[in-house]
Amino acid sequence: MNNCTLFGEDYSYLVPLLLYKNENGHVHSRFSNGFNIKMGDSLVFIGNNKNGLLPFGIHLRKEATLSAVSSVNNGDSVTWNRRTNSIELPGVTISIEKGNSFKNELTTLKSATIFKDSFERFCLQLNEIEDQTGLDASFKEFLNKFHAAGEQKWLGTEPYLIMLIEAAMSSDEGLIEKVLRYFLGRGQGLTPSGDDMIVGLLAFDAVSHFLSTAFYEKVSELIEGESITTDVAREYLRYALKQEYSSNVSDMVNALASGDASNFEKILDDLLGVGHSSGLDTVLGILIGMLVYRNLRIRTETN
């Protein structure tokens, strides 16, 4: 019997439709700041907004999150009650009846001048970061090599980052598949570093539109057709392919696309603070996206 009802403060506008389609499921994964439930083939996150407002999230206050997490176990049965707009588990009920629906909107890159200013601002900030990404890449070293004249000795993951830039500039399905197979599922944790990076790349494309249809189709084909990565990473990628992102990611690419520098450092810090290295890896993906966009502009201007 349920021992208490907790109320979600905010929920993604996409969640109710998903729950109406899949009314029964189970607790998939549980951690300190919340838990995922699996409904059909989809995940819903229930927990705090420490990592931003998620496109598949129901967000609770801090105290309610602690209570919810302590009341569930992996594998617990989950039922959506459409009459009461609530998710029923053996130890707790989560209601969205009083919550606010949200959508993390995206803007569009305004101009070449804004891109140039945002790119310079972004690179200046990234040069200050000492931490390595989850793929052991250094922002400073990679940017220095990328901008230096002449041939470079690319080390570790760097040759694959260069290959990703080439793949993102093309419609070559073989090249795209090769580089995606390298990154998808690569790294530790619920969302491996390579997947977080691809999410970041897709996020910058969502505001600037440079990737080929072939790139999107190949990501979808790999994550849906194979067990190439984790369930949680696949969920983030599924939403990214529909241009739906966490508020931390959308705030970052919106700031870059609009040229709004007022909260730039805080927005970047908020994203960098996500997970053990998820934020760093996502930021690397956004940087790759900006480098691709810059290269394509240079190519267009010189032809």
* Domain CATH number, residue 37: 2.40.440
Same domain, yes or no: 163 and 283: yes
Q: Are residues 146 and 279 in the same domain?
A: yes
- Write down the pLDDT at residue 150: 67
Residue 201 and residue 290: Cα distance in Å, rounded?
Answer: 8
- Residues 143, 278 within the same domain: yes
Instruction: Report strand pairing: 24-31 vs 10-12.
Output: unpaired
In a domain, 196, yes or no: yes
Domain that holds residue 187: 112-302
User: Does 47 fall in a domain?
Assistant: yes
Phi–psi pair at 291, nearest 5 degrees: -65, -40
Q: CA–CA distance from 205 to each of 181, 262, 295 (Å)?
A: 20, 23, 14
Residue 107 lies in a domain: no
- Is 134 domain-assigned? yes
Q: For position 303, what pLDDT does the model report?
A: 57
What does residue 9 show for φ and ψ, rounded to 5 degrees? -80, -40
- Residue 299 pLDDT: 77
Last residue of a domain, one of 45, 67, 102: 102
Q: Give a yes or no: residue 243 inside a domain.
A: yes
Same domain, 51 and 166: no
Quote the pLDDT of residue 1.
45
57 assigned to some structural domain: yes
Tell me which DSSP letter residue 267 carries. H
Question: What is the CA 44 to chain-centroid distance, rounded?
Answer: 15
CB burial readout 82-91, b (16+ within 10 A) else e = eeebbbbbee
Asked if 68 and 119 sit in the same domain, the reply is no
Closest Cα to residue 179, out of 285, 80, 76? 285
Provide the token pair at 14. Answer: 């996409």
Quick one: 113 exposed, middle or buried, by C-beta within 10 A (0-12, 13-18, 19+)?
exposed
- For residue 254, what pLDDT is reported? 98
* Shared-domain flag, residues 146 and 275: yes
- Give the domain-ending residue among 76, 102, 128: 102
- The answer to the question of residue 144 being in a domain is yes
**Of the residues 102, 127, 158, which one is the last residue of a structural domain?**
102
- Are 181 and 264 in a shared domain? yes
Same domain, 212 and 79: no
Residues 50, 142, single domain; the answer is: no
Residue 267 confidence (pLDDT): 97
In which residue ranges of the chain is pLDDT below 50? 1-2
Total domains present in the chain: 2
Q: Which of 212, 258, 272, 281 is nearest to 106 (CA)?
A: 258
Res 275: pLDDT: 87
If asked whether residues 144 and 284 sit together in one domain, one would say yes
Question: Do residue 36 and residue 94 come from a single domain?
Answer: yes
- C-beta separation of 293 from 209 below 8 A: no
**Do 165 and 212 lie in a common domain?**
yes
> Is the residue at 210 inside a domain?
yes
